[in-house]
Amino acid sequence: MKKLLILGTGKDQVFGIEKAKEMGLYTIGLDLNEFSDGVKLVDEFYKVNIKDESEVIAFLKRYEKPIDGVIAFGVDIPEILARVAEIKDVCYYTDYNTALISKNKYKAKKRMEEYGVKLPKFSEIETFEELIREIKKFGYPCVLKPVDNSGARGVLRITEDIDLKRAFEYSKAFSKSGSLILEEFLDGLQISSESFVIDSKVYTIGLAERNYEFLDRFAPFIIENGGDLPPPLTDKQREEINEQILKCAEAFGVKKGIIKGDLVLHGGKIFIIEVALRLSGGHFSSIEIPLNTGVDFLKYAILISLNEAIETDELVFKLEKYVSLRYIFPYKKGTIKNLEFPEWFEKEDSIKAYDFYYRIGENANYPVKSHPERLGFFLVANENYVELKKMIDQSYQDTVVEIK
Ligand SMILES: Nc1ncnc2c1ncn2[C@@H]1O[C@H](COP(=O)(O)OP(=O)(O)O)[C@@H](O)[C@H]1O
Ligand SMILES: [Mg+2]
């Protein structure tokens, strides 16, 4: 029986753990939280902070048994996965140093630039003076963000009416290293992607249009309200996405692995906003992509981690269902008095998942400044596009959010 080490046993990881079990694997789970949802599902569990490299290394020193692969679902720790792979002699998508580069938004862009990836103009920003100087070069609108954070934390869309000093201080507060990156803002269709790289060939199975209906409401914060699968793309544009992701794979030395991307279709061309050498979190790879395309994404991700052969004939996009994810937002700041999904959710076949991240009595923030401040989500799938849209409207109407 092959053994898979899984970094993280939280809610986001349950689907991955279940898939591994379904595939007949022996699972070893690590997490800081010994009460997290996946703990009872894994065959062995150890309390380890998976985001702390030295803790993970110390665990591996104690754990002498061999493993056949390592994986993390939806956690941004490529360098730790690379380290584990090195120590345990299993495979990961790239080496430790490249994984670290891929996590730094500025260093990653520098690297991608060398490999000819299509990118927005960008500059590293360390001082306020640099920000003023570079904005003059780029023009408005542009985007300011920490080089080393995620989940839209500290990401600001900079327009002419913005107090630049405040924007600089705000974004900097979210940067662990103190460095920021300024980019020209590319307008156009915003896309999330998730691709397999197998023998240096790219198969982009997961594609969603990001929903930015609240861009103005939450400005200057760039808050996404879920997404729609598939996005309105031609076959040629899909091919262009594969070409760009292939260049990213070359830039980060990925011959076999998974690349998650944020892309924009700007002026008819595909641009890369960022890529990550990991599986997406939330429900993208676990529920949305399989419902949309019929491709069992997590299964292939696990097979890649075990360095097993993959039947690439099966990695093709074909439309099975339209799928939409939408978030529940607070409408004001205050204490949450009630949060309730409609009763009909349980019986409705097209509602595939729903949950709140907050509980009654906790505080809601408004306006929402980053993704973790959204209150909850629901996920709808339907073969009929019109029905799907109706279902989204009905879900919003019937979901109760009370804030005092
Ligand atoms: N240069 C840009 N042009 C257009 N949109 C952008 C740009 N930079 C960021 N965004 C938008 O903001 C989102 C968050 O920025 P991103 O760089 O992906 O940071 P995070 O690590 O928080 O995901 C992106 O997914 C994209 O929708
Ligand atoms: Mg992103």
Locate the domains of the chain by residue range. 3-92, 121-184, 189-320, 323-403
What's residue 18's pLDDT? 97
H helices of 252-361, where? 289-293, 297-305
User: 121-184 has which fold?
Assistant: Dna Ligase; domain 1 (3.30.1490)
pLDDT tops 90 at residue 234: yes
Q: In this model, does residue 212 exceed pLDDT 90?
A: yes
Q: Identify the pLDDT of residue 51.
A: 97
pLDDT for the residue numbered 16: 97
What CATH number has the domain spanning 3-92? 3.40.50.20
Fold observed for domain 189-320 = D-amino Acid Aminotransferase; Chain A, domain 1 (3.30.470)
Integer angstrom CA distances of residue 55 from 80, 84, 114, 179: 10, 11, 34, 26
Fold agreement (3-92, 189-320): no
User: Does 57 score more than 90 pLDDT?
Assistant: yes
Residues 133-156: pLDDT tens digits? 999 999 999 999 999 999 899 999
Please list every protein residue whose CB sits less than 6 Å from any atom of ligand 1: 120, 143, 145, 150-152, 155, 183, 185-186, 190, 210, 222, 262, 264, 273-274
pLDDT for res 281: 84
Mean pLDDT of all residues belonging to the chain: 97
CA-nearest residue for atom 7, ligand 1, is 185
* Residue 324 predicted with pLDDT over 90: yes
Q: Which atom of ligand 1 is nearest to the CA of 151?
A: 22
The CATH H-level superfamily of 323-403 is ATP-grasp fold, B domain (3.30.470.20)
Q: Is 110 exposed, middle or buried (0-12, 13-18, 19+ CB in 10 A)?
A: middle
Distance (angstroms) between ligand 2 centre and the Cα of 105 equals 10
DSSP 150-180: -TTTT-EEE-TTS-HHHHHHHHHHT-SSS-E
Q: What are phi and psi of 251, to 5 degrees?
A: -60, -35
Amino acid identity of residue 401, one-letter, is V
Ligand 1, atom 15, lies closest to the CA of 152
Confidence of residue 338 (pLDDT cuts 50, 70, 90): very high
CA atoms within 13 A on the CB side of 227: 23
